[in-house]
Structure 1
Amino acid sequence: MTTPLALAVVGSINVDLTARTERLPEPGETIGGGRLVREAGGKGANQAVAASRLGARVRMIGATGADLDGSWMRAELEAVGVDVADVRTGHEATGVALIVVDAAGENQIAVCEGANAEVSLDGVEFAAEEAVLAQLEIRMDVVAELARRVRGYLAINAAPARELPEAVVERADLIIVNETEYALLPALRAARRVAVTYGADGAKLFEGGIEVAAAPAVKIEVANTVGAGDAFCAALTVGLASGIPADRALAAACAVGAAAVADPRSQPRLATLERYLPA
């Protein structure tokens, strides 16, 4: 990208409390010997941070609590160049995700949404040249409002899997899901463009239900899968919204996802997007 893409990320901001254990607990079981890590997270914030590190000019639209965690989350976003002027202070506490990650990088996650339920577009304007990326850890009425108001490129990461309003499916320039979410949301077969991730089998891009591009996964040692999907979403949105051809953008997004898997953090260190584009 010669001129950085302007990108607004609308979504969740959480504190991630991650317990790293040898294996995931069974129902009702207690696992000892864990190591607790406290770090910045939330699908929205993860995607904003990844997009900024990939080279986009990013602003975050979200909400935190009027607490120390909220101040910390804003500072973490600002530290990587994300504009937080549209992050509002809500009445609830800053959101928290409780995560358990095993030695193979698999995870279990429970999210307490907190202030994320108060994300609002009141007073927010979107420029025609600005791309927008949102996820479903915020209220669906906010996502529906984006479909009505966004004038530029609109990407929706339909995760966690929830039924999307027909108007959102019709309006979105890109919808990103994993294999399970794609199976749970049959309406996506009619969407304009859908990217589906298949874990170790890479990713595919569909237009009107027809496959138009595919990219293999990059083989790498897994440290943590929590932030990989968010990094993939950021990379693919930045690539496609910047005009990079679909096959190259998809391959780069798979490479970014692999880099994220190799990093134990929910907000992995990444190079600029050009570094991940195929030769």
Structure 2
Amino acid sequence: MIVVIGSINLDLIASVDRLPGPGETVRGSGFATAPGGKGANQALAAARAGAKVRMVGAVGKDSFASDALALLRDGKIDLSGVGETFASTGTALIMVGADGENVIAVVAGANDSVVPGDLSKAFLKNGDVVLLQLEIPLQTVEAALDAARTAGAITVLNTAPFHGDAAGFLGKADYLVANETEFDLYGEALSLNGRDRPARMRDYAARTGRTIVATLGPDGVLAATPDDLLMVPALQITPLDTVGAGDTFCGYFAAGLAAGLPLDQALARAAAAGSLACLKAGAQPAIPLARDVDAALQKSTG
């Protein structure tokens, strides 16, 4: 079982020719809503990868809640751990440029009400994979890492969005997943040694005894374990929309670990899924199905 403890949002997405600068207004060419939130995105990605998934989080008692949970319900994800609060359902305001790049403002809403006491809804047990992000209170994330270790579960922590205050507990996660910018920021916060990113990743792995994974966009994925350094390429694509690519990677990566795949294979499958997610608009609607990821992988390896 994969247990995702994290955020649930409704994304409000505007398409623009180019992203505006400070104080600038640009004309939009389209608008859509889509279920989102890093926790929910990753839960759906894990489910589409073929895993059994339980979601722990919160939504508001408002009109956005049903839409925010719609694709999770369709994906047969266990939502018994999702509570309702009087805060608004979390929202993300997203602008996507014609080149596929995006800017996002997140309003946490009900996500801020996910507290350590809610971890009882996770029913953690030995062998589970617990998938976490930083869009819920940091005390809840750290408590979940501790509870998972006590239960004998494997933990995957995605460091998005960046929170300097999280640096002190990152080493509690069995697998840490960061994009290149986040890793560089945490590298400064942790005073990691090394002249380049691979060296600093090796230093992190040596210090903590854990595995660190850095996603590098079109350059693929770099991972450091206490014993090895792995590089996995991304699929060669022309991106339409990069929203949700990192979340797709995390969900597929967790599913690979839960299925017992070797690290290199779990990374390759997750990287391929993240690439395919860039070919469609939106976060959850763009998450590929397992058969499409496997077909793309087979094609890429000849």
- Would you call these one fold, judging by a TM-score over 0.5? yes
Q: How far 1:240 sits from its partner (Å)? A: 2.4
Could you report, residue by residue, the CA deviation over 1:120-157 in whole angstroms, capped at 9, with x for unpaired residues? 34332211121110100110000110121112111000
Query: Is the 1:144–1:165 contact (alpha carbons within 8 Å) kept by the matching residues of 2?
Result: no
Matches of 1:165 and 1:262 in 2, distance apart? 33
In the alignment, does 2:118 pair up with 1:128? no
Question: TM-score, normalised to structure 2's length?
Answer: 0.85
Q: Which amino acid aligns with 2:180?
A: E
Alignment of 1:1-279 (within 5 A): 6-122=1-117, 123-124=120-121, 125-150=123-148, 151=151, 152-163=153-164, 164=166, 166=168, 168-186=169-187, 187=190, 189=204, 190-191=207-208, 192-208=210-226, 211-267=228-284, 268-272=286-290, 275=294
Q: Please list every run of at least 4 consecutive aligned residues from structure 1 whose deviation after the TM superposition is greater than 3 angstroms.
A: 276-279
Do 1:214 and 1:250's aligned partners in 2 also have CA atoms closer than 8 Å?
no
CA contact (8 A) 1:248 1:277 kept: no
Gaps of 5+ in 2: 191-200
**C-alpha contact 2:128 2:258 (8 A) present in aligned 1:** no
SS at match of 1:240: helix
SS state at 1:141 partner: helix
8 Å CA contact 1:204, 1:211 repeated in 2: no
> Alpha-carbon deviation of 1:69?
0.9
Shift of 1:165: 5.1
What percent identity do the matched residue pairs reach?
Answer: 39
For the Cα contact (< 8 Å) 2:13–2:282, is it kept in 1? no
> Secondary structure of the residue that 2:271 maps to in structure 1?
helix
| Amino acid across the alignment from 1:63 | A
CA distance in 1, matches of 2:155, 2:78: 19
Aligned length: 272
Partner SS state of residue 34, structure 1:
strand
Q: How far is 1:59 from its partner?
A: 1.0
RMSD between superposed Cα atoms in Å? 1.7
Return the offset for 1:277. Answer: 5.3
Higher helix share: 2
Structure 1 residue 223 displacement after superposition:
1.0
Letter of the 2:218 counterpart: A
Q: Which runs of 5+ in 1 are unaligned?
A: 1-5
Q: Deviations over 1:55-98 (max 9, x none)?
A: 01011111000112112222331111111110010120001100
Quote the Cα distance in structure 1 between the aligned partners of 2:154 and 2:256: 12
1:71 is paired with a residue of what secondary structure?
helix
2:134, 2:268 → 1: CA distance?
Answer: 25
* Cα distance between partner residues in 2 of 1:154 and 1:193: 11
Letter in 2 for 1:47: Q
Task: Provide closer, same or farther for how the CA distance between residues 207 and 174 of structure 1 changes in structure 2, counting only shifts above 3 A.
Answer: same
Letter in 2 for 1:270: P
CA–CA distance in structure 1, aligned partners of residues 228 and 185 of structure 2: 18
What amino acid sits opposite 2:249 in the alignment? F
**CA offset at residue 211 of structure 1?**
4.9
Q: Which residue of 1 aligns with 2:196?
A: none
